[in-house]
Amino acid sequence: MGRPIKHDGTVFRREGTRFYWISYREKDGTLHKESTFTEDWHEAQKKLRERLLARDGNALQIVRKGENLTFGEWVHLFLENYSKPPIREPKTHAANIRAASHLKKAFATRRLVEVTADEIEHYLRGRLRQRVRFKTKSGYLERGLLKPATVHQELRVLRRMLKRCGSKKAAYFESVFNSGIPSVRETTIPSTLSGVV
């Protein structure tokens, strides 16, 4: 019989790196080591506590998977699982696809936890300055500026996506650890859209 384990996990510095590392045992007893990507000891302790809490809640694999989920992957999952009929009306699904195509241009390669409320607001302000583009046989035609209602519809789709992500277990880490997915309340509406809301 093995010796009893004295500690759940440890924070330590590894030779040749400036970041703190954490080690802890998973449910099956295997030792897991990973970098915290921080030089702050308190932040490293916080990450260790998060990992141990997720392990005890049987959600450690979900947390690891969710931290690496990109915005583009989540949009694809959302459109496949939560936007198609019979869950939503066909017109709503079409609007979600249209809005998602613009959102993916801005955030597709970013990790979902890295998208902040400030970046969303910057994206919305940029969209309000863009012109409407129509594809024709001879190329693209540009018309007047986008209407605030169009941009607001993209914001509503984005809110719905983030809300669904926060409520699903695939984003368990967001609700428990508050690790960066902007909440719907943090996503402010630019003043030019305030009349539309």
pLDDT at 165 over 80: no
State the pLDDT confidence band at 4, using cuts at 50, 70 and 90: low
pLDDT reading at 34 higher than 80 = yes
Task: Let me know if 197 is exposed, middle or buried by CB neighbors in 10 A (0-12, 13-18, 19+).
Answer: exposed
Determine, yes or no, domain membership for 188.
Answer: no
Q: Between residues 27 and 181, which one has the greater pLDDT?
A: 27
**Residue 1 within a domain:** no
Residues 91 and 127 in one domain: yes
Q: Are 165 and 83 in contact (CB under 8 A)?
A: no
What percent of the chain is predicted at pLDDT more than 70? 80
Helix 148-167 vs helix 71-81: crossing angle, to nearest 10: 90
Beta-sheet strands, E only, within the chain: 9-13, 20-25, 31-35, 131-136, 139-145
Instruction: Answer yes or no: is pLDDT of 149 > 60.
Output: yes
The arithmetic mean of pLDDT across residues 72-80, rounded, is 91
Residue 123, domain extent: 71-177
> For 187-192, what is the mean pLDDT?
48
Neighbours of 129 (CB within 10 A): 9
Give 197's pLDDT tier (boundaries 50, 70, 90): very low
169 shares a domain with 76: yes
Tell me how many domains the chain contains: 2
Percent above pLDDT 90 for the chain = 46
d(CA 155, CA 125): 11
CA 156/CA 152 separation, integer angstroms: 6
Residue 168, pLDDT score: 58
> Based on the domain organization, do 130 and 53 belong to the same domain?
no
pLDDT tens sequence across 77-133: 899 999 998 889 999 999 999 999 999 999 999 988 888 889 999 999 999 999 998
Mean pLDDT, rounded, of the chain: 82
Please give the DSSP secondary-structure letter assigned to residue 190: P
| Residue 157 in domain | yes
Q: Note the pLDDT of residue 65.
A: 74
For residues 162 and 111, membership in a common domain is answered with: yes
Domain assignment of residue 187, yes or no: no
User: Is the predicted pLDDT of residue 39 greater than 90, yes or no?
Assistant: yes
Asked whether 193 and 127 are in contact (CB, 8 A), the reply is no
Q: Burial letters for 77-97: b for 16+ Cβ neighbours within 10 Å, e otherwise?
A: bbbeebbeeeeeeeeebebbe
Q: Are residues 118 and 85 in the same domain?
A: yes
Contact 115, 124 (CB under 8 A): no
Cis peptide before 190 (omega within 30 of 0): no
Cα 45 from chain centroid (whole Å): 23
Both 77 and 171 in a single domain?
yes
